[in-house]
């Protein structure tokens, strides 16, 4: 959790090219709202992942924003489309996808080129 700590406060180190919302809004949102940082020997290692629950949450946001679905329409679309696509990207079946693969994942979630215009 960014800013959580006490004696040793964790500060999320978002790559410079994605730090501000004006840089790449999609990646900025993934880093700041949906991804978690991996650890090596108990310390943050700078490698970010999106887990299954966060992947579904960001997919729901994209479906609502770019396909114009809401509520039960968005949920039923995700019920049909999310799991097969998640299994395609979670090749090791460990419940996470590398953050760098998520933009392509989300574009495929849209399903059409027209629906993905402006995905950022």
pLDDT tens digits, one per residue of 14-47: 666 556 555 567 888 898 899 998 988 888 888 8
Helix (H, G, I), strand (E, B) or coil at 102: helix
Q: What is the pLDDT of residues 68-104, one digit of tens each?
A: 899 999 999 999 999 999 999 999 999 999 999 999 9
**Is this structure's pTM higher than 0.85?**
no
Report the alpha-carbon distance of residue 1 to residue 8 in Å, rounded.
12
Q: Does residue 99 contact residue 50 with C-beta atoms inside 8 Å?
A: yes
Token pair listed for 110: 């849209």
Helix (H, G, I), strand (E, B) or coil at 96: strand
């Amino acid at each position: 959790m960014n800013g959580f700590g006490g004696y040793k406060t964790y500060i999320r180190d978002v790559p410079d090219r994605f730090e501000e919302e004006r840089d790449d809004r999609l990646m900025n949102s993934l880093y700041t709202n949906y991804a978690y940082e991996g650890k090596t020997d108990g310390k943050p290692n700078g490698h970010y992942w999106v887990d299954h629950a966060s992947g579904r949450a960001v997919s729901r946001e994209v479906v609502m924003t770019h396909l114009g679905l809401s509520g039960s329409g968005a949920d039923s679309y995700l019920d049909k489309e999310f799991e097969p696509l998640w299994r395609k990207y979670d090749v090791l079946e460990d419940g996470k996808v590398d953050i760098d693969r998520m933009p392509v994942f989300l574009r495929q979630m849209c399903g059409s080129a027209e629906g993905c215009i402006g995905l950022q």
